[in-house]
Amino acid sequence: MTKRISLLFILVLSLGLLLAACGGANEEDNAGTEDNGDNATENGEAASDYKVAMVTDEGGVDDKSFNQSAWEGIEAWGQENGLSKGEGYDYAQSDEKADYMPNISRFVRDEYNLIFGVGFKLKEDIQKAADQFPEANFGIVDDVVEAPNVASITFKEHEGSFLAGVAAAMKTATNKIGFVGGIDSPLIKKFESGFIAGAKSVNPDIEVEVQYAESFTDPAKGKLIASNMYDSGVDVIYHAAGGTGNGVFNQAKDLKQNDPEREIWVIGVDRDQHDEGQIGDHNVTLTSMVKRVDVAVQDVINRGANGEFPGGEQVEYGIGENGISIATTNEDAMTEEIISAVKEWEEKILNGEVEVPQTIDELETYVNSL
């Protein structure tokens, strides 16, 4: 009997040990599963540990134009992801062309995942960097670089400029409007062509005075050009001149301050430049052709962070992609009549009824068809 009890005790003990061993194995398996979950989280964090930088052109990060808009997009993305300047995103100021390549190379050395060159003037150096550092990804704003590790961000500026022309033609009291360009280039010709086409679609007989400053960083030159235009009877000037355009605003504000009753206007570019036109109780900014560089930059960053970087592609943003719009911030200047007309022409562009010219040759053909 005692032997039976002993044998039974041994069997029960063995069974208990076996169950404990099985339980331990399950706990180890579960622990392994939990570790895998932690690893997955860590991998997810690693995937979002994406570093982005931009290199400005000479206009600088506070040019109140496309450099600033690009930086605002990067900054917003960084803050949304809990990052801070220098810790996940950053920019380098370029005071001259010779700064481009050193700035780009520094960010490559610092292992930034995506480096933007802002402005067509950086095209050559982004091309060199793409060839020299094939493991890095780059973005170019306002031009196209043919390389598998470069995303080329472009905009349909001619569409927004057309709508700016519509607004200018409806606002002018003198039937004389002006266009001030930065550097005479195919890109800025898109602004000019679209603007003139829009204005002449409203009034084929309207006069459009055009002058280029040959600089994006010369406010004094912009002020002088604007002074001459306003003196000649122009009462609305659209600028596509970066920092040079600040001079256009300065001249308009000076004239408005001296004669508050004078109807004189500026159309801003790239971002809503309403604040640039404030002078006392008045604001000389009629509207702005808003190019959502911030939206485009964030879109490309998110694609890259998700492993879908559009390398080797030209990504174009227009009215249909919410990348181009017309500001209506100045409610006193942008009347319901003007806004209604702008929307009507916008719809014609979207439905293909109007094909906006992008070059001077296309502009001549368009105007001749009116």
pLDDT tens figures, 188-231: 999 999 999 999 999 999 999 999 999 999 999 999 999 999 99
Rounded-to-integer distance, Cα 86 and Cα 84, Å:
6
Read off the pLDDT band of 257 (50, 70, 90): very high
- Same domain membership, residue 124 and residue 168: no
Calculate mean pLDDT across residues 251-264. Answer: 97
Percentage of the chain modeled with pLDDT above 70: 87
Of 282 and 13, more confident: 282
Helix (H, G, I), strand (E, B) or coil at 237: strand
Q: Which domain holds residue 274?
A: 157-291+335-368
- Same domain membership, residue 201 and residue 148: no
Please report, for the chain, how many H helices and E strands are present, in that order. Answer: 11, 15
Q: Give me the pLDDT at residue 171, please.
A: 98
Rounded-to-integer distance, Cα 182 and Cα 215, Å:
5
Q: How far apart are the first and last CA of the chain?
A: 116
328 domain residue, yes or no: no
Helix (H, G, I), strand (E, B) or coil at 335: coil
Q: Is the confidence at residue 261, as pLDDT, over 50?
A: yes
Helix (H, G, I), strand (E, B) or coil at 228: helix
Q: Give me the pLDDT at residue 37, please.
A: 36
83 domain residue, yes or no: yes
- Same domain membership, residue 354 and residue 339: yes
Angle at Cα 171 formed by Cα 170 and Cα 172, nearest 5°?
A: 100
286 domain residue, yes or no: yes
Calculate mean pLDDT across residues 347-358. Answer: 97
- Same domain membership, residue 246 and residue 187: yes
Q: Give me the pLDDT at residue 336, please.
A: 97
Residue with tokens 């030209």: 314
Instruction: Encode pLDDT of 4-51 as tens digits.
Output: 444 444 444 444 444 444 444 343 333 333 333 333 333 334 435 899
Of 59 and 353, more confident: 353
- Mean pLDDT, rounded, of the chain: 89
Closest among 181, 251, 252 to 216, alpha carbons compared: 181
- Same domain membership, residue 173 and residue 126: no
Phi-psi region of 85 (alpha: psi -120 to 50; beta: other; left: phi over 0): beta
Q: Of 155, 177, 205, which residue sits at a domain end? A: 155
* Rounded (10°) CA dihedral 197, 321, 317, 111: 160
Q: Of 139, 155, 171, which residue sits at a domain end? A: 155
- Same domain membership, residue 356 and residue 282: yes
256 domain residue, yes or no: yes
Instruction: Encode pLDDT of 290-343 as tens digits.
Output: 999 999 999 999 999 999 999 999 999 999 988 999 999 999 999 999 999 999
Rounded-to-integer distance, Cα 79 and Cα 171, Å:
40
- Same domain membership, residue 199 and residue 162: yes
- Same domain membership, residue 351 and residue 260: yes
Tokens in use for 26? 């399950």
In the chain, the number of structural domains is 2
Rounded-to-integer distance, Cα 286 and Cα 231, Å:
19
Radius of gyration of the chain (CA): 29
25 domain residue, yes or no: no
Instruction: Encode pLDDT of 134-149 as tens digits.
Output: 999 999 999 999 999 9
327 domain residue, yes or no: no
Instruction: Encode pLDDT of 92-103 as tens digits.
Output: 999 999 999 999
Residues 6+ apart with CB under 8 A from 258: none
CATH number at residue 79: 3.40.50.2300
Closest among 129, 83, 87, 85 to 109, alpha carbons compared: 129
> What is the CB neighbour count within 10 angstroms for residue 133?
17
Q: Give me the pLDDT at residue 205, please.
A: 97
41 domain residue, yes or no: no
Tokens in use for 4? 């039976």
Phi-psi region of 31 (alpha: psi -120 to 50; beta: other; left: phi over 0): alpha
Tokens in use for 139? 């973005």
- Same domain membership, residue 230 and residue 81: no
- Same domain membership, residue 221 and residue 99: no
How far lies 60's CA from each of 36, 118, 203, 245, 247, in Å? 46, 10, 37, 14, 16
321 domain residue, yes or no: no
Which helix (H) or strand (E) segment holds residue 209: the answer is strand 207-212
- Same domain membership, residue 195 and residue 276: yes
Q: Is the confidence at residue 278, as pLDDT, over 90?
A: yes
Q: Of 155, 184, 203, which residue sits at a domain end? A: 155
Q: Give me the pLDDT at residue 48, please.
A: 58
- Same domain membership, residue 359 and residue 228: yes
Rounded-to-integer distance, Cα 45 and Cα 40, Å:
9
Query: pTM for the complete prediction?
Result: 0.78
